[in-house]
Structure 1
Amino acid sequence: MSDKLPQNRNNEEVDLLVLFDYFGKSINRVINFFYKIIKGIFSFFIYALKPFIRNFKLIASVVLVSAILGFIIQKTQRDVYTSQMLVKPYFDSKYQLVTNIKYYNALINEKDYAQLQEIFNISEEDTKQIISFDIHSGPENENDKIVQYDEFLKSIDSSRAKNISFKEFVENRSIYSGDVFQIEVFSHKKDIFRSLEEGLNTTFTNTYSVKKMQKRDSLISIERQNILSSIKQVDSLQKVYIDVMNDEANSNKGSYTTKDGMSFIQERTKTKEYELLKESMQLRQALSELDAQKVEEDVYFDTLSSFQDTGEKYTSIWRVYTLIFPLAAFVTLCFVFTGKNIIRFIVNYEA
């Protein structure tokens, strides 16, 4: 019994040593794994920076020359001015507006200044100062988006509407989804924008919009006649009820006594003056809303904000050539050095 006890202790010590040795090797493997990763990343950066260190003078010279060249070009470039105009089209004239904006840009690209001169009624010299036209959806709040979403759901099948969320609608809607549009003009001349407004105002009218407005006016006229007819009928009924009530009030036959001395009170005629008054008010309110609709939308568009008399100077990072040219030169050199190293690696590679 005493001989077995020391033997068991020795076995336990051996097991502990084996376990510690296993844990030690595992920890070393983990440390070596992370060491190799860090060393690989460090080696990659060193290898990538070597060409730039070796060719530092060349890179600095190219970047400096590019910066000087960009500065010269930037100083020789003509200033660009821009101005915005907010409009609200009616009767689907927004489709014609977007089409015409594209047409104007095509004329500018083709340098068809005669056609532009005729459209905007400006001199040929001013026409040549126009750089481009642009159109965007106008400013809108969350409530405007919700209203557009509700109108969209009403225009499609109910089974499809369940699968289209508000977020998907907002992300995938086109420029035609909005009701307000921002027209932006770029020009080398800073005070040309007001003179372009009259020509732009003619872009909203087309045959489709004219017919749609005429159809709307015809429907309003028919509905107005129906409402007026209903009001006339209600007024006639009100007059009849009033006459009946006056007759009953002035009549002596409201109560009478029989020969036996029994008194009777004649029941008055039941009328609906309150219901008729309420209906009359509703009809007149509907008539007022129809008239207001025709007054508010009696044109093909409303100008919410006109062009400024003097445009603001247009600035963009892409016009800062003192920054763009050196950056482009540096990126080009990076591709050149990387390409050379890849080619050298492929040539010297041995499987």
Structure 2
Amino acid sequence: MSEKLPQQPQNEEVDLGQLFNAIGNLFQRLFNFIGKLFKGLFSIIIYAIKPLIVYFKFVLVIIVITTILGYIYQRTKAPVYYSNMVVKPNFDSKYQLSSNIDYFNALISTENIAELSNIFEIDSTYAKELVSFELEPGPETQNDLFIEYDEYVQSIDTSLVDELSYVEYIKNRDLMSGRLFAIKARSTKIDIFPKLQQGFKKTFENDFSEHQKKIRDTVAYLERQSLNMQLERLDSIQKTYLEAIRNESNNPNLSLGFGNALPLQEEKTATKEYDLFLKEQELRRNLNRLNQTVAEENTYYDVLSGFDKMGKRDKSFTRRYTMLFPVLALMLFILGFLAVKAFNYIKNYK
């Protein structure tokens, strides 16, 4: 039995050695895979820019020619101006706004000048100067996002709160999740933008938003009636307690106590009167909050910042043709080179 005992540590050392070797081989394969991945990406990049180096003179000629063509095209093309209007849609009219933006762009692309002129109530000479419309998220602060997340948490089942953190909520937000929206209008006419603002009024006033507003007004009316009724009943109860207090003061023989203990009726009445006062304040706060909400959201949309009287020059990359043309030419050149190489490889493949 004593001869078998020393063999146990040797077996454990063998097992640990095999385990460490397996872990080492696993890390080695991982590092080899990462190395091959970076090597492959590096090879792709080098192979993509290789034609630019091999045919450097030809590429230089292409850049010069396309830059000149881009400059000429930019000089002959009318400049594009843009302006933003920040709005806060109410009664879920933001969905109709998004749909109408797509509709306006479709009218512009099909050159339906008559319909655009009718929608925005502008002259056809102004309507044909429209270039595009774009809907973007409005300005939001970190506090706005925290408030929005808190309202969302309160509106869902408590069992789902732990499954969606604040970071995940912000990551999964889309354009329609916001409350503020920026409408970007582009036109070749620098002073057209104030004329477009009135046309967007039709966008927010639609059947669905009108239905939502009627529901809100009805619910607010019923809630206001309920609060006023509670205040009237509370006022009646307060008058009853005041009358009881006056009766107690006029009747010193009326008391509530135990033996020779001090009467307790005065303290009890005062406590209930104070509770009634607190309840009245709570009801009045709720009523004021309801009236404030109805007053603040009594229109289909609020304009936080209207269109500027004069638009700004659009200097985005897609409008800077002296840079856009050369970049597109180089991309086409590289794609053409790769296509030729692929064609020759397939042709000579055995």
TM-score, length of structure 1 as denominator length: 0.76
Once the two structures are TM-superposed, the CA of residue 116 in structure 1 deviates from its matched residue by 0.9
- Opposite residue 119 of structure 1, the aligned amino acid is I
DSSP-derived class of the 1:249 partner: helix
Work out whether residues 51 and 337 of structure 1, in 8 Å CA contact, stay in contact via their aligned partners in 2: no
1:231-280 per-residue CA deviation (whole Å, 9 max, x = no partner) reads 1111112112212222232346469xxxxxxx999875642211111111
- The 1:326–1:159 alpha-carbon spacing in structure 2 relative to 1, beyond 3 Å, is same
Does residue 104 of the first structure (1) align with residue 87 of the second (2)?
no
- The 1:279–1:334 alpha-carbon spacing in structure 2 relative to 1, beyond 3 Å, is closer
Map 1:231-310 onto structure 2 (within 5 A): 231-251=231-251, 253=253, 268=265, 270-271=268-269, 272-310=272-310
Structure 1 CA distance, aligned partners of 2:318 and 2:282? 60
- Opposite residue 230 of structure 1, the aligned amino acid is Q
- The 1:202–1:67 alpha-carbon spacing in structure 2 relative to 1, beyond 3 Å, is same
User: Any gaps of 5 or more consecutive residues in structure 2?
Assistant: 1-38
Structure 1 CA distance, aligned partners of 2:209 and 2:94? 9
Partner of 1:146: 146
Once the two structures are TM-superposed, the CA of residue 170 in structure 1 deviates from its matched residue by 2.1
- Opposite residue 196 of structure 2, the aligned amino acid is L
- The 1:207–1:343 alpha-carbon spacing in structure 2 relative to 1, beyond 3 Å, is closer
Work out whether residues 193 and 308 of structure 1, in 8 Å CA contact, stay in contact via their aligned partners in 2: yes
Which region of structure 1 is more displaced relative to structure 2, 108-117 or 118-127? 108-117
- Opposite residue 70 of structure 2, the aligned amino acid is G
Query: What is the RMSD computed on CA atoms of the aligned residues?
Result: 3.2
Partner of 2:81: 81
Work out whether residues 48 and 334 of structure 2, in 8 Å CA contact, stay in contact via their aligned partners in 1: no
DSSP-derived class of the 1:186 partner: strand
Structure 2 CA distance, aligned partners of 1:219 and 1:315? 49
Work out whether residues 254 and 265 of structure 1, in 8 Å CA contact, stay in contact via their aligned partners in 2: no
- Opposite residue 147 of structure 1, the aligned amino acid is I
- The 1:273–1:156 alpha-carbon spacing in structure 2 relative to 1, beyond 3 Å, is closer
- The 1:147–1:346 alpha-carbon spacing in structure 2 relative to 1, beyond 3 Å, is same
- Opposite residue 307 of structure 2, the aligned amino acid is F
- Opposite residue 172 of structure 1, the aligned amino acid is N
- The 1:254–1:128 alpha-carbon spacing in structure 2 relative to 1, beyond 3 Å, is same
- Opposite residue 237 of structure 1, the aligned amino acid is I
- The 1:337–1:174 alpha-carbon spacing in structure 2 relative to 1, beyond 3 Å, is closer
DSSP-derived class of the 1:164 partner: coil
Once the two structures are TM-superposed, the CA of residue 148 in structure 1 deviates from its matched residue by 3.0
DSSP-derived class of the 1:295 partner: helix
Once the two structures are TM-superposed, the CA of residue 51 in structure 1 deviates from its matched residue by 8.0
- The 1:61–1:225 alpha-carbon spacing in structure 2 relative to 1, beyond 3 Å, is closer
- Opposite residue 210 of structure 1, the aligned amino acid is E
Once the two structures are TM-superposed, the CA of residue 64 in structure 1 deviates from its matched residue by 1.8
Does residue 211 of the first structure (1) align with residue 203 of the second (2)?
no
Structure 2 CA distance, aligned partners of 1:318 and 1:225? 58
- The 1:153–1:336 alpha-carbon spacing in structure 2 relative to 1, beyond 3 Å, is same
Structure 2 CA distance, aligned partners of 1:71 and 1:283? 69
Which region of structure 1 is more displaced relative to structure 2, 87-96 or 322-331? 322-331
DSSP-derived class of the 1:168 partner: helix
Structure 2 CA distance, aligned partners of 1:118 and 1:46? 55
Once the two structures are TM-superposed, the CA of residue 48 in structure 1 deviates from its matched residue by 7.4
Does residue 228 of the first structure (1) align with residue 228 of the second (2)?
yes
Partner of 1:134: 134
Work out whether residues 136 and 183 of structure 1, in 8 Å CA contact, stay in contact via their aligned partners in 2: yes
Over the matched positions of the two proteins, sequence identity in percent amounts to 36
Which region of structure 1 is more displaced relative to structure 2, 156-165 or 103-112? 156-165
DSSP-derived class of the 1:190 partner: coil
Once the two structures are TM-superposed, the CA of residue 83 in structure 1 deviates from its matched residue by 0.3
